Amino acid sequence: VPPAHRFASHTGEVEIEIEAPTERDVFAEAARALAELMDGEDGEPATRDVRVEAADRPALLAEWLGELAFLAETEGLVPERVAALELGEGALRARVEGRTSTPRHLVKAVTYHDLTLEERDGSWFARVVLDV
């Protein structure tokens, strides 16, 4: 199964569901989903090294998306590619390559509501609810 995401309906908010062959792919696919949602324009190429920490893997996924939302709001960075993604125990490192512009939509926050990241029948599934 190639990595894929879909936006599910949730009154007032946006819910992202992700399926991918590996846990690492879930994190990369989540960045693609977020970029689609933010809808950036053509801008200057930019690269940022990101490191986030959290108590467990689902919280790490929330923290990762939170960091990307923060970069979009403060620097206008919308990711195009995630390189060198290292998933450690309670920490993640990655190089985010993208463009800085004025994203049309920002994400207010990544919530812990229904936050899911788990292995299901040999592939990985995640659900994240965003406040937009």
Q: Which residues bind other proteins (CB under 8 A)?
A: 7, 9-14, 54-55, 59, 63, 66, 70, 73-74, 102-106, 108-115, 129, 131-132
**Closest distance to other proteins from the beta carbon of 127 (Å):** 12
* Residues 94 and 65 sit within 8 Å (Cβ to Cβ): no
Within 8 A by CB and 6+ apart from 24, the residues are 85, 87
Sequence letter at residue 73 = E
Q: Which is nearer to other proteins, 25 or 129 (CB)?
A: 129
Sequence letter at residue 6 = R
**Closest distance to other proteins from the beta carbon of 98 (Å):** 16
Q: Mark out the alpha helices in 13-101 (DSSP H runs).
A: 23-38, 57-75
Q: Which is nearer to other proteins, 18 or 25 (CB)?
A: 18
Taking alpha carbons only, the member of 82, 70, 77 closest to residue 32 is: 82
Element (H, E) at 43: none
**Closest distance to other proteins from the beta carbon of 88 (Å):** 18
Q: Which is nearer to other proteins, 43 or 123 (CB)?
A: 43
**Closest distance to other proteins from the beta carbon of 74 (Å):** 5
